Amino acid sequence: MSKKDKVFIFDTTLRDGEQAPGASMNEKEKLEVAFQLERLGVDIIEAGFPVISKGDFNSVKSVAKHIKKSRVCGLARSVKKDIDACYDAVKGAKRPRIHIFLATSKIHLEYKLKRTKEEILKMAVDAVKYARKKTDDVEFSPEDASRTDKDFLFRIVEAVIKAGAKTVNIPDTVGYGVPDQFGQLILDIRNNVPNINKSIISVHCHNDLGIAVANSLAAIKNGARQVECTVNGIGERAGNASVEEIIMALQTRSDYYGCSTGIKTQEICRTSRLVSKYSGFVVAPNKAIVGANAFRHEAGIHQDGVLKERTTYEIMKPEDVGFVETGLVLGKHSGRHAFRVRLKALGIDLKDEELDRAFNRFKNVADKKKEVYDEDLIAIAEDEAKLVPKAWQLVSLSATSGTKIAPKATVSIKSKGKTFEKSSSGDGPVDACYKAIEGIVKVKGELLDYSIQSVTRGKDALGEVTVKVRIKGKNYIAHGASTDILEASAKAYLNAINKMIVQSK
């Protein structure tokens, strides 16, 4: 194995990652994530499953139109309708790809498809040939490959390569594989498919047993040269292999794997945070690579060792994956120019209108906090980025609550230059606040999930609230940030309502 071997990173956050229950993103959010994935340097962005809905089709089409460096891929079943929709969505890309899949395992053939192996073989070949008439970049996935009869798997892989598939993906669809066996499967494919050298072997591992990354790495060790993964490992059921873990494993242990990716690893944390924000899935503190505790040392022995020599307890540098130093960067006397320069240093480039709003927010935060950290600036900037037009904006709020006091909130919000105010009571100050908002906007929402996390340390830290709200049968994930938790809660709820208004038009 040459040290020059490249592993292509196929990111499916916008397709498989978004299939995680409750992780739906709108078109603008998907495009923002796609831009960040391009900055990260992923080779292929699987932007969605175009045939399943108009929204998915439009999102894939938008990503294809705007992304210039990464290949843009869409998913399709092995039927002409899907392939047509997929190509129509990705054809505007500089480098479009059609990804076709068809189940091949005995259990899927018998219970789901009710077809014979010969029928499946013909369907797969016909689908690849049809797709090749539209683009020369076609990928084929025998779904549930890890539970497919090996001889049949070898036959179908050989056949689709002969039909024109440039990439053959071997999915561990239900997370059944274990590293030794899955790695051996890749090696067996290399040794038993005569034309395998005409195609790149890819893998797509699910995390049902918690070993998706281990399976992916075992596959790479045995010759796979594309790996399909998602940011933060999000996806159906227990999720997918985490892109950040695979990238850093290959980089940190290049002595073992002998591979490179070409990824700009300094963008990893920013990518993780963006996907967490839009998916509504908070990253666990102990999550490898991107968790808040990934580079923290509590034990005295560890602290002593790191202070003397970092490599005693750290195999990676925090800055290599984009962790920003928690240090004082700006204060209440800092000017707009310094604010803009610092944001750019953090990889954030706002439009003038967004910058004005973010700077005003920064000034307000600086008046309340003794120390303003980079993480605060990132939260403020992301909160003010105009991904969703603000039909309703918070003007002010006040609340009373206590162990022997009925919670009550008064909320003032504005829309189209007019200000409205209403008071309401509730089970707690947040509930009262939300009822007051609903009374003004005349929209009733069901709060499905509510979470809050501290952006930085200290009693005066910014709090970031994430809500998942069901309005008129649809779920919306939104965020709000403030040093005041109630204010952050109100902003998050209003942002969910604003999303609903925009998507209803």
Domain termination site, one of 365, 384, 403: 384
Between CA 158 and CA 128 the distance in angstroms is 12
Is residue 128 located within the same domain as residue 243? yes
**Shared-domain flag, residues 56 and 103:** yes
Q: What residues make up the domain containing 344?
A: 324-384
What's the burial of 352, exposed, middle or buried (CB within 10 Å: 0-12/13-18/19+)?
Answer: exposed
Domain count, the chain: 3
Whether residue 411 is found in the same domain as residue 267: no
CA dist 101 and 127 (Å) reads 9
Judge if 160 and 244 occupy the same domain.
Answer: yes
- The verdict on 418 and 370 lying in the same domain is no
Euclidean distance between CA atoms 204 and 405, whole angstroms: 55
Cβ neighbors of 460 (< 8 A, separation 6 or more) are 368, 369, 370, 483
Strand partners, 434: none
**Full-model pTM:** 0.83
One domain for residues 24 and 54: yes
Tally of CB atoms within 10 A around 260 = 14
Give the CA dihedral 215, 205, 130, 106, nearest 10 degrees. Answer: 90
What is the full per-residue pLDDT of the chain (505 aa) written as tens digits? 444 699 999 999 999 988 887 677 888 889 999 999 999 999 999 999 999 999 999 999 999 999 999 999 999 999 999 999 999 999 999 999 999 999 999 999 998 988 999 999 999 999 999 999 999 999 999 999 999 999 999 999 999 999 999 999 999 999 999 999 999 999 999 999 999 999 999 999 999 999 999 999 999 999 999 999 999 999 999 999 999 999 999 999 999 999 999 999 999 999 998 999 888 888 888 999 998 888 765 545 444 554 566 666 678 888 999 886 544 457 777 788 888 888 877 777 788 888 888 888 888 888 877 667 777 787 777 767 656 677 899 999 999 998 888 999 999 999 999 999 999 999 999 999 999 999 999 999 999 999 888 876 666 678 889 899 999 988 888 888 888 999 999 999 999 999 888 877 6
Distance separating alpha carbons of residues 486 and 437, to the nearest angstrom: 13
Do 348 and 440 belong together in one domain? no
Decide the pairing of beta strands 328-330 and 446-454: unpaired
> How many angstroms separate the CA atoms of 263 and 329, rounded?
28
Are 337 and 470 within one domain? no
- Counting beta carbons within 10 angstroms of the beta carbon of residue 191, is it exposed (0 to 12), middle (13 to 18) or buried (19 or more)? exposed
451's CB contacts (< 8 A; 6+ apart) are 282, 465, 466
Q: Parallel, antiparallel, or unpaired for β 8-11 and 44-48? A: parallel
